[in-house]
Amino acid sequence: EAGVAQSPRYKIIEKRQSVAFWCNPISGHATLYWYQQILGQGPKLLIQFQNNGVVDDSQLPKDRFSAERLKGVDSTLKIQPAKLEDSAVYLCASSWGGGPFEQYFGPGTRLTVT
């Protein structure tokens, strides 16, 4: 079974630029998550999709972050404009449904904002 795919793996941008991350979840997984993990901390949930609807985006900085999940499969996370404090690893995860299922994580995108 193929795992969660993410791209790019690394990205370096200057502050005020924009960036987009892409995620392809495990086939058949209805729920998709985007997390932000700052160095030395645990992942923090940014947004959770159930199929192509948003279940929770309470911790998403909506003035600069946006995310979509087209057709309930792939998802993109965008930051515009980026700030220095956005430097982090962005993790995508998926699970079978919205219940207490284990989440499968992708390798992440390491973003450096200079």
Partner 1 sequence: SQQGEEDPQALSIQEGENATMNCSYKTSINNLQWYRQNSGRGLVHLILIRSNEREKHSGRLRVTLDTSKKSSSLLITASRAADTASYFCATDGPGGSNYKLTFGKGTLLTVNP
Given the complex with partner 1, which of 6 and 82 has the nearer CB atom?
Answer: 6
Work out how close the CB of 106 gets to partner 1 at its nearest, in angstroms, rounded to a whole number.
7
Given the complex with partner 1, which of 78 and 110 has the nearer CB atom?
Answer: 110
The DSSP code sequence of 10-44 is EEEE-TT--EEEEEE--TT--EEEEEEE-TTS--E
Pairing state between β 19-24 and 5-7: antiparallel
- Interface residues toward partner 1, by CB under 8 A: 40-45, 48, 50, 55-56, 91, 93, 98-108
Given the complex with partner 1, which of 103 and 112 has the nearer CB atom?
Answer: 103
Query: From CA 22, how far away is CA 6, in angstroms rounded?
Result: 6
Work out how close the CB of 96 gets to partner 1 at its nearest, in angstroms, rounded to a whole number.
12
